[in-house]
Amino acid sequence: MARIDLVDLAHSYRGNFAAPESFALKPVTMTWRQGGAYALLGPSGCGKTTLLNLISGIVTPSRGKILFDGVDITPLSTQKRNLAQVFEFPVIYDTMTVGQNLAFPLKNRGVPKAEIDARVAEIARLLDLAPWLNRKATRLTADAKQKISLGRGLVRSDVAAVLFDEPLTVIDPELKWQLRSKLKALHRDLDLTMIYVTHDQTEALTFADTVVVMHDGRVVQSGTPAELFEKPAHTFVGYFIGSPGMNIVPAEVRGREARIDGHTIRLDRNYDGLPPGARIEIGVRPEFVDVEAPGSGLLSATIERIDDLGRVRFARVRIGDAKFAARVPPGFSLDGNEAGLRFDSSRVHVYADSLLVEGK
């Protein structure tokens, strides 16, 4: 168990002297708290697996350091790092039984037999694998195999952190839910640092206390699910998290006002002194824009269509050239397609070159 610090860590698969823009992981400095449940969220190719493999030692960083509890472990091999990793596809040792699979990491480390048996029994109980201990592991289903892979990680009592690399990709949807709750429960029981890589925001938001969003090799925000939802630090976070994603539209912002296509939206904070020449956008989540009948004080917009998601309805609307998604309040119906939009002004954020600007 350990706190993990990344110090100016970066990696390029093209060698150490490649141009910084081509880095698979751009320099990052951050701390993973002992016992935290983290999710690394991002689209395919954003560098999240690279980051995970750097931590586990499968990949050696081009630059920077990794510290476990303050000790630099960058030069150490994977074996010496005391990590557990669960891969996308379940890794099972074909010739062994479930029990032998679980015992394998301990046997390799020369742990006494009695202790191995006790640990294996304990882990099998935690993962509900006890009835299958003497079965050949190859004949089990994908989710049971994935549990075995996980069990091999947990069976070592000294493991510093458990890393998951999209572990539920090959699992059936209804079992995904069960396995995820199992992971949550294990996290509570065992007080382990867990890092979970995924491109699925539901998985990330339900699993983690802290979600680290990556985009194009960079960590763009790290925070609780609520922070990511309410205050995305980068337009990518706004757009990637939430369904539909955040509305991000170019605007002219001056003081407490944003202008879109001649319409004015009031802002709660003052945004004087935005960097000159920057690309200015405002971002607001569809949940904080309500569609109403046209009226004074509302922005007039054209409704293009309404998506009924069952629980909520979202309207796709247009203000000039800018497209918005907005919430349609329950029971609301409209004649024609002209509507008014009511913005929750405290939820409208301003972005300069994709980065959040704090108003005063």
Stretch that binds another protein, among 144-152, 247-255, 259-267, 305-313 (CB under 8 A): 144-152
33 lies in the site for another protein, by CB under 8 A: no
- In the complex, minimum distance from the CB of residue 116 to another protein, in angstroms, rounded to a whole number: 13
Q: Which of 29, 72, 93, 255 binds another protein (CB under 8 A)?
A: 93
Task: Please name the residue ranges forming H helices in 216-282.
Answer: 225-230, 235-240
Stretch that binds another protein, among 105-113, 118-126, 289-297, 310-318 (CB under 8 A): 105-113
Sheet of 161-165, strand order: 83-86, 161-165, 193-198, 37-41, 210-215, 218-223
Based on CB atoms, which residue is closest to another protein, 129 or 214? 129
Helix 98-108 crosses helix 142-154 at what angle (to 10 degrees)?
Answer: 30
Determine which helix (DSSP H) or strand (DSSP E) holds 178, and give its type and residue range.
helix 173-190
* 8 Å CB contact between 228 and 238: no
Based on CB atoms, which residue is closest to another protein, 106 or 328? 106
- In the complex, minimum distance from the CB of residue 160 to another protein, in angstroms, rounded to a whole number: 11
- 52-91 binders of another protein (CB under 8 A): 56-58, 77-79, 83-85, 87-89, 91
Q: How would you class 209 by CB atoms within 10 Å of its CB: exposed for 0-12, middle for 13-18, buried for 19 or more? A: middle
Q: Which of 104, 177, 239, 332 binds another protein (CB under 8 A)?
A: 104
Based on CB atoms, which residue is closest to another protein, 1 or 91? 91
Structure token pair of residue 211: 């979600």
Cα 283 from Cα 119, distance rounded (Å):
51
- In the complex, minimum distance from the CB of residue 170 to another protein, in angstroms, rounded to a whole number: 12
Q: What are phi and psi of 287, to 5 degrees?
A: -65, -20
Helix 113-126 crosses helix 142-154 at what angle (to 10 degrees)?
Answer: 130
Distance of CA 265 to the CA centre of its chain: 31
- In the complex, minimum distance from the CB of residue 156 to another protein, in angstroms, rounded to a whole number: 9
* 8 Å CB contact between 245 and 320: no
Size of site (CB under 8 A) for another protein: 37
- In the complex, minimum distance from the CB of residue 193 to another protein, in angstroms, rounded to a whole number: 15
Q: Which of 5, 143, 166, 281 binds another protein (CB under 8 A)?
A: 143
Sheet of 263-266, strand order: 252-254, 257-260, 263-266
Site string for another protein, 109-138 (x = CB under 8 A): x------------------xx--x--xx-x
- In the complex, minimum distance from the CB of residue 194 to another protein, in angstroms, rounded to a whole number: 15
Please list, in sequence order, all residues whose beta carbon lies within 8 angstroms of the beta carbon of residue 75, skipping any fewer than 6 positions away.
none
Based on CB atoms, which residue is closest to another protein, 16 or 79? 79
**Do the strands 37-41 and 193-198 form a parallel or antiparallel pair, or are they unpaired?**
parallel
Please list, in sequence order, all residues whose beta carbon lies within 8 angstroms of the beta carbon of residue 225, skipping any fewer than 6 positions away.
204, 205, 208, 211
Q: Which of 139, 259, 279, 323 binds another protein (CB under 8 A)?
A: 139
- In the complex, minimum distance from the CB of residue 106 to another protein, in angstroms, rounded to a whole number: 9
Q: Which residues make up the interface to another protein (CB under 8 A)?
A: 56-58, 77-79, 83-85, 87-89, 91, 93-96, 104-105, 108-109, 128-129, 132, 135-136, 138-144, 147, 149, 152-153
